[in-house]
Amino acid sequence: MLEKNKVYELEIVDLGHSGEGIGKVEGFTVFVEGGLPGDFLKVRTTTVKKNYAIGKLLEILTPSSTRSNPPCPVAHQCGGCQIMHMDYQAQLDIKRSRVEENLRRIGKVEAKVLPTLGMDNPYEYRNKAQFPVGMMKGRAIMGFYEKGSHNIVDTPYCHIQHPINEKIVKLIKEYIEQYQVSVYDEETKKGLIRHVVTKVGYQTGEIMVVLVTNGKKLLHQEELINLLKENIAGLKSVVQNINDKNTNVIFGRDTITLYGEDHIVDYIGDLKFNISARSFFQVNPMQTKVLYETALEYAGLKGDETVFDIYCGIGTISLFLAQKAKKVYGVEIVEAAIEDAKVNAEINNMTNTEFYVGEAEKIVPEIYKKGIKADVVMVDPPRKGCEEAVLETIVNMAPERVVYVSCNPATLARDLAYLQEKGYFAEVVQPVDMFPHTAHVETVCLLTKK
């Protein structure tokens, strides 16, 4: 058993789900923030539990061959990019390995896992930023939370966000300081500005700035709007969202458009989407296109199929499928997302889609009971994976193909094991790097009936 606050030397052999290094001391597992496979480290144990310990990195004795210098000066503090200190090709390789290992270990699924599809330029890819706002020594700070805390790391420029954010952050800081606008304090629950959220249309250049406030009255509103209008080319929308609740949730219920439209527009491929302050839209538009084109290819549509898109969100995949299918039925629990899906179908002149709001495990069996049967099923569930009732209905409908899009290799493995038991075969698994420099991996899997 290891002792707390004692120094040990160990080799890192793997990465955990949050990007932390995993090593062993005398067979005992130690998690080390900042460690990479191949590193030989000196660490001090800060926590010792029955089955594992957490160590603080003191010194890199021998660096991993995959270790690189991150371009971001706050990469080791900020919680946004867990593995920016890792060579990009090595990031892609380890994401593929994680998918393969989860399938084999959790699901007992032996499937062909292809190399991860990465980006030519894995920087400046995010079309949405959420900056908490704070004060330090009388100056406004904006950035991202430090790893494992709510301490704000001041980040004038973020290497994975659209470059326009550097200018927006500077302008908002100027506005706060010039007009002495108060910022929210999590301890006292007082202060006005809580978060600044930005959204950028990569294809259109349209920009939305959202101020999340602890109260309705936004001081010097006109001056702020003029400041943004004069300095931000492509500014389409300035929005205020009111969140006066004691919560860690960013957005409140009420949203007011202060300037311009209540949405911006962007494209994925040829498809057009309206993006409002609170609507969900994939944050990496370049890789979203790669992901959806892979899903569409696996769906193998010829034009006469009925497709179910389960957990359809705002209908992005549904509309991609509708270009090639006879009919697409989308199911989603979030009512606002379904409203967005209907609007997105309308603005793209798609008449062969139908959207249902409700829990997938209830709605999908109801549609099936009406006699509507899917030839192809697309599922893109949240991290917890599919409800068993959804998987059971898929099996009962017996579609020729199931395309499973996953953001969590562990629940993907569990659900593939269920489908495999019921007569489906995982033909091919394609990891896609939607979030470079983070530990997350998105996966598309094609299952066919045995």
> What is the set of active-site residues?
407
Backbone angles phi, psi at 102, to 5 degrees: -65, -45
Written as six digits, the tokens of 279 are 């609507």
Neighbour order of strands in the sheet with 401-406:
112-113, 424-432, 442-449, 401-406, 376-379, 306-310, 327-332, 353-357
> Is 118 within 8 Å of 433 (Cβ atoms)?
yes
State the DSSP H helix or E strand holding residue 447, giving kind and residue range, or none if neither. Answer: strand 442-449
* Tokens representing residue 329 in the block: 């039925």
- Exposed (0-12), middle (13-18) or buried (19+): which is 280, by Cβ within 10 Å? middle
Distances (CA, A) of 344 to 1, 211, 282, 350: 58, 25, 14, 8
CB 12 within 8 A of CB 33: no
HSE toward the beta carbon, residue 60, CA cutoff 13 A: 15
